[in-house]
């Protein structure tokens, strides 16, 4: 798999984490290095692990669905990207929270919620018979980095930027799914 395609997937997947990090930065009265580290580490870790879980799941069923796997990849990525776009456009402004979302159950819940899309990408990579290790590491690093950037931006810039990041992430995932479908149909 092309390294630029992996980076594109990682950037697309990281937009949810980035948007949540921006929103998290808005809720914290005073941002500290601990907040940044906790959120970036957990989001990066979960974004790295979820594709591996999806990949192992996909390896068990890939032999049965090879003839139409490119349609599944396209459908999964288009669905995830479309869902991100729909949520970005239709989501109501969130209320400010009084708890620290970078700790405890809130942190775990946000980590899982922002990485579920990566599970589907791991399944898609298994269907394409791509090794999962390099993509997972790249996804985790990019997600962790963008999370750190997002929480800092959120604490300084406001919530409008997170909204646009989610829209861009949805468009990137739909574009990657479309590219995969077209390249398989062309061969």
The larger pLDDT score, comparing residue 36 to residue 58, is at 36
**Is the predicted pLDDT of residue 96 greater than 80, yes or no?**
no
CA distance 79 to 99: 32
pLDDT for 65:
62
At 112-169, the pLDDT tens digits run 888 878 888 888 888 788 889 999 999 999 999 999 999 998 887 654 555 676 677 6
pLDDT for 48:
96
Q: What is the CATH T-level fold of the domain 3-186, as seen in this structure?
A: Growth Hormone; Chain: A; (1.20.1250)
The larger pLDDT score, comparing residue 105 to residue 96, is at 105
Residue 174, CB-side half-sphere exposure with 13 Å CA sphere = 13
pLDDT for 104:
86
pLDDT for 26:
75
Question: Percentage of the chain surpassing pLDDT 90?
Answer: 26
Q: What secondary structure, in 3-state letters, does the chain show? A: CCHHHHHHHHHHHHHHHHHHHHHHHHHCCCCCHHHHHHHHHHHHHHHHHHHHHHHHHHHHHHHHCHHHHHHHHHHHHHHHHHHHHHHHHHCCCCCCCCCCCCCHHHHHHHHHHHHHHHHHHHHHHHHCCCCCHHHHHHHHHHHHHHHHHHHHHHHHHCCHHHHHHHHHHHHHHHHHHHHHHHHHHHC
């Amino acid at each position: 798999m092309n390294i630029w395609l992996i980076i594109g997937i990682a950037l697309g997947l990281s937009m949810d984490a980035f948007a949540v990090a921006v929103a998290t930065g808005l809720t914290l009265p005073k941002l500290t290095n601990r907040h940044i580290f906790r959120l970036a580490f957990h989001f990066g870790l979960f974004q790295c692990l979820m594709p591996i879980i999806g990949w192992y799941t996909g390896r068990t069923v890939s032999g049965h669905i090879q003839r139409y796997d490119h349609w599944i990849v396209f459908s999964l990525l288009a669905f995830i990207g479309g869902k991100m776009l729909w949520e970005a456009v239709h989501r109501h402004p969130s209320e400010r929270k009084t708890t620290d979302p970078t700790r405890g159950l809130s942190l775990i819940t946000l980590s899982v919620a922002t990485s579920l899309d990566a599970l589907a990408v791991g399944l898609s990579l298994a269907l394409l018979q791509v090794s999962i290790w390099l993509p997972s590491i790249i996804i985790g690093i990019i997600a962790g980095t963008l999370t750190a950037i997002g929480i800092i931006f959120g604490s300084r810039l406001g919530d409008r930027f997170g909204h646009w990041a989610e829209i861009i992430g949805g468009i990137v995932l739909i574009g990657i799914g479309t590219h995969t479908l077209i390249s398989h149909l062309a061969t």
